[in-house]
Each structure stands twice: as C-alpha cells, then as structure tokens.
Amino acid sequence: MKPLRQPAENLETSVPEDNGTKPATDQDAASNYWDYDYSNFYSGAGFDAFDILDPFDAWWEQARPRGYYLFGQPITTAPGTRVHLVETKGNTKLENLVNLASYNYLGLSYRPEVIAAAQEAIGRYGLGASGSPILSGTIDLHEELAEKVARFKNKESVLLFPTGYSANLGVISGLMRPGDLVVADQYSHASIVDGAILSKAKTRFFRHNNAADLDRKLQGFSGKKLVVIEGVYSMDGDLAALADIVEVSRKYGARILIDEAHSAFLFGEHGRGVAEHLGLDDEVDMHLGTFSKSLGGMGGYVGGSTKFINYLRGFARSRVFSCALSPGVAAGLIAALKIVEEEPELRAKLWENVAFLQERLRNAGVDIGDSESQVIPIMIRDDARIFSIAEELIHGGVYLNPIRYPAVGKHRSRFRISVSAAHTRDDLEEGADIIIRVLRKNGICS
C-alpha cells in the first residue's frame, strides 16, 4: 500500500471548520448507523437522564429496519420444532419454519402431560401464588417440586427461585459479602455478573476455561472465595474444564458454584448435569439451574447441603422479595421432571440429533467452534453481514437468531443453534440444508 507522506511543514495546518473535522450531527450518526451499536449508548453526557434518548432514537430508527428488528419477533405457535413467525419489518407471517432457536431441549414445554398438569393446577390454585415464598406464596406444589428436584439432582435440599436469573442473583449475593472475592469464568451469564455486583464482593473474571488464569486470580487473596462456572457455555456450547477448576479452587479453599442452565436434565448418566457427566458431582458445592430450558417451563433452583439452603432461605433477596412460582408452572414442571425420569430415551435421542447435526455441518465446512453439546454456534465472524444472512435464513425456512457485538466479541458474530430431542431427522436435514446453502451463497463456507 502506498504510504502516506506529507511534507513536515504541512503537519500543522489551519483548516476551515467544515472540512470534515467538524463534529457530526445526530443525523450524521443516524445515517452512519453501522458505526454504532448498543455499547455506544451505555453512557451519555448531559444533566438529564433522558438526554441519551434522542441520539439513541436517531440511531435506532435507522438500525432497526436494517437488522435489529430480527430480535424479539413474535412467534404465533408453541416453541416446537416448526414455528410460525410474524416478521415485523414487513408485518408478514412466515409459516412452518424449522425452529433451531428455542432452548426447548427435550421438547417438554408442549408435551400433553405437562400441559394437562398445568391446566389442572390453574383450575385448582388459580393463576398466581399471590405471595412471597417466605410468607403466603408457598403451596404444596412448590414443596413437591423442590423435593423432586433435590432427589433427581441427588442433593440434600433444593431452593426454588422465580427464574434462573434470580437464582444466580440470590445465591451469589446471598452468600458473598463486601471484602470477599468472586472469581467467575469470563463467559459467565449476565445473572452471574449481576449477582457478583449485588454482593459488593471484589470480582475477578478468569480466562475462559483456563485454570492457570483462575489460579492467578485467586492467588494472594486470604478472605472468602467463590468460583463460579457454567456446565455448558451458552454462546459456544463447550463444557466447563471442571477437573482443573476444582483442583485450583480446592488449592485456595474456594467454594464452587456451577450453573447448569444448559446442561441439567441432559448430561450425565442420570441427567444431573455436566458435573455428573465428568464424575465430579460431589466436588461442587452448589448446583444451580433453570427450569426454562430442558424442562420447558420457567423458574430456577439451587441444590446443595440443607445447611446451605436453610441459610439462603433468609438471605436470597431475589427470592424473598419475589412472588413464588405460578402454580400452573410448578405443576407443569413436576410433570416434565417425571417425563425426564421415566424417559431416558429422550436424552439419547437428543445426543443422536446433536451428533447428526454437528457432523452434517462440519462435513459441509461450517465452522461450529468447539461445541460439545446441543448448543451449536454457526460462526459467521462478520458483524456487517450477519443481519442480511439472518434474513436469508429466515426467508429460506429456518428460524435462527443472529448474535453480534456486544453480546459476543467484535467479529465473533454467529448464529446459535439449539438442538432438541423433539427434532426429527427431516427437521434437522432441512435446517442443515438451508444453513449450508445460505452460508455457501455468502461465501462463509466452501
């Protein structure tokens, strides 16, 4: 490339105000929408908290129809293997898309037994629990669900939360205090980060799955320490390097919390999660998860010793100050858990589907990163084009969500496939064919 060369005397110059160095206007920012993303609007100048709204709106009006509309489009069917979608850009209805976006890993959200249990509970108890779980909100279904989850997870006790998010919030902030140390994997879910913020403990993040960096972050700290990891990482689908992490944590006397949001009820001989799968279930102090993924409902839980659960009952503010789970959801979860226990073939079917789809995509040259699970990233690595590729995929017949900066690193944009046991071989073949065709057309794979 031709180097820029200028005479030294031109290195200090006077220029008119409108030569391009003049600050751009809101309209300029809007027309150059591609130079901006959500991260630009986190903080803003001015004395009114609403000062940021006009520049954000100017950008959003440009950005939304160019791709951001793809987030949060309404589905008009159950989150099954095929969905109907309202495309909000043109207000058109797209029908019978192969659904590779919902984390309904065992297809339980719409199983007739689950729906029937929920309907019956709503008929008996009504819509809501109408109270905090520590006051009037606990019903017998909550007790039954907690006991059954504890038995399934082989833990002394389990505490229920309204969501998986609130479980991490409540556990971390309920246990850790200012002056303590929380060390979490750098790819931790926002709920782990927010739990650490709420605890006011010192927080450090270690390099993803890197026990040596965890060691570095734990060194020299003499107070209470908590290490937080996930069983399956939600953007890459890889598993926790649990053996090494346990070893380092034990070396420094740190307690370990594992979030099995994407792995409980799926991994391991009994389906307890990645900790069981890796033979380290008893090495982990706290086992946390959500009911919104594999069980197809909503809510969260943490399992551990009865002493730990009893303590947390009084200090997990995200639970204490929230309404208890809806009776319909609790009953549906009990029914879903029963299916998981009685139909291990569901998990076998899921892993067959995962193996099939991973092989199909890899053989076609699709970059699926280091996925070892039902979470399969389709690495696009092109922040500028991911929205247009997403549109092609949806119009081609497959429903997938684009993921781009700042949700992942710059130029690490991707789609994230969630495989379900409910997918048929035809669903997966059709979905893979569409993905491969669109990626080839765009030069993403050969």
Partner 1 sequence: MQLTKYGFSHAVSAFFEMPTELAKNLLPRHLQPLEVQHGSAVFAVTAFDFTESMVGTYTEIVLAVIVPPLLEAGQQFPKSAFYPYLVGTNTPESRAHAIERWHLPHHMADVDCDFAVEGGAMNVRVHDNDKPILEMSVHEHEWGKTNDLYQAFMTDEQKRYKVDIHMNGEFSEHEEESGSLKLHNHPMLEKLEPAEINTYPFRELWMKQGMQTFNELETI
Between 94 and 197, CB nearer to partner 1: 197
Which residues, numbered 172-191, are part of the site for partner 1 (CB under 8 A)? 186
Helix axes 345-363, 327-342, angle to 10 degrees: 80
Is there binding between residue 203 and partner 1 (CB under 8 A)? yes
Between 18 and 342, CB nearer to partner 1: 18
Between 6 and 91, CB nearer to partner 1: 6
Distance CA 301, CA 349 (A): 26
Closest CA to 423 of 84, 70, 103: 103
**Span from 86-94, 96-104, 205-213, 341-349 in contact with partner 1 (CB under 8 A):** 205-213
**Span from 3-11, 270-278, 290-298, 299-307 in contact with partner 1 (CB under 8 A):** 3-11
Closest CA to 370 of 180, 146, 208: 208
**Smallest distance from the beta carbon of 389 to partner 1, in angstroms?**
16
H or E element: which one contains 402?
strand 402-403
Is there binding between residue 46 and partner 1 (CB under 8 A)? yes
Number of residues that bind partner 1 (CB under 8 A): 51
Distance CA 71, CA 58 (A): 19
**Smallest distance from the beta carbon of 208 to partner 1, in angstroms?**
8
Q: Is 91 exposed, middle or buried (0-12, 13-18, 19+ CB in 10 A)?
A: exposed
Distance CA 205, CA 227 (A): 10
Distance CA 78, CA 85 (A): 11
* Choice from 31, 44, 71, 343 touching partner 1 (CB under 8 A): 44
* Choice from 177, 362, 411, 441 touching partner 1 (CB under 8 A): 411
Residue 175 tokens read as 């246990």
* Choice from 61, 306, 409, 426 touching partner 1 (CB under 8 A): 409
Is there binding between residue 49 and partner 1 (CB under 8 A)? no
Distance CA 32, CA 59 (A): 8
Distance CA 230, CA 242 (A): 9
* Choice from 94, 197, 235, 364 touching partner 1 (CB under 8 A): 197
Between 52 and 75, CB nearer to partner 1: 52
> Which DSSP category does 417 fall into?
E
Q: Write out the E strands in 291-382.
A: 300-304, 375-379
Between 410 and 441, CB nearer to partner 1: 410
Helix axes 164-175, 306-315, angle to 10 degrees: 100
**Smallest distance from the beta carbon of 54 to partner 1, in angstroms?**
8
Is there binding between residue 23 and partner 1 (CB under 8 A)? yes
* Choice from 64, 84, 202, 317 touching partner 1 (CB under 8 A): 202
Between 14 and 446, CB nearer to partner 1: 14
Strands 82-87 and 92-99: antiparallel
Is the N-terminal amide bond of 406 cis, ω within 30° of 0?
yes
Between 53 and 127, CB nearer to partner 1: 53
Between 28 and 247, CB nearer to partner 1: 28
**Span from 19-27, 232-240, 342-350, 428-436 in contact with partner 1 (CB under 8 A):** 19-27
Contact code string over 371-400 relative to partner 1, x by CB under 8 A:
------------------------------
* Choice from 76, 92, 119, 219 touching partner 1 (CB under 8 A): 219
* Choice from 2, 47, 112, 342 touching partner 1 (CB under 8 A): 2
Contact code string over 51-70 relative to partner 1, x by CB under 8 A:
x--xx---------------
Distance CA 332, CA 292 (A): 11
CB 192 within 8 A of CB 147: no
- Phi/psi of residue 244, nearest 5 degrees: -65, -40
Residue type, 236: D
Distances (CA, A) of 112 to 145, 266, 325, 339: 19, 21, 21, 11
> Which DSSP category does 75 fall into?
B
Task: Report the C-alpha dihedral over residues 150, 240, 238, 338, rounded to 10 degrees.
Answer: -10
**Smallest distance from the beta carbon of 154 to partner 1, in angstroms?**
33
Is there binding between residue 418 and partner 1 (CB under 8 A)? no
Applying CB under 8 A, the residues found at the interface with partner 1 are 1-6, 8, 10-17, 21, 23-26, 28-29, 35-36, 40, 43-46, 51, 54-55, 186, 193-194, 196-197, 202-205, 207, 213, 216, 219-220, 405, 409-412
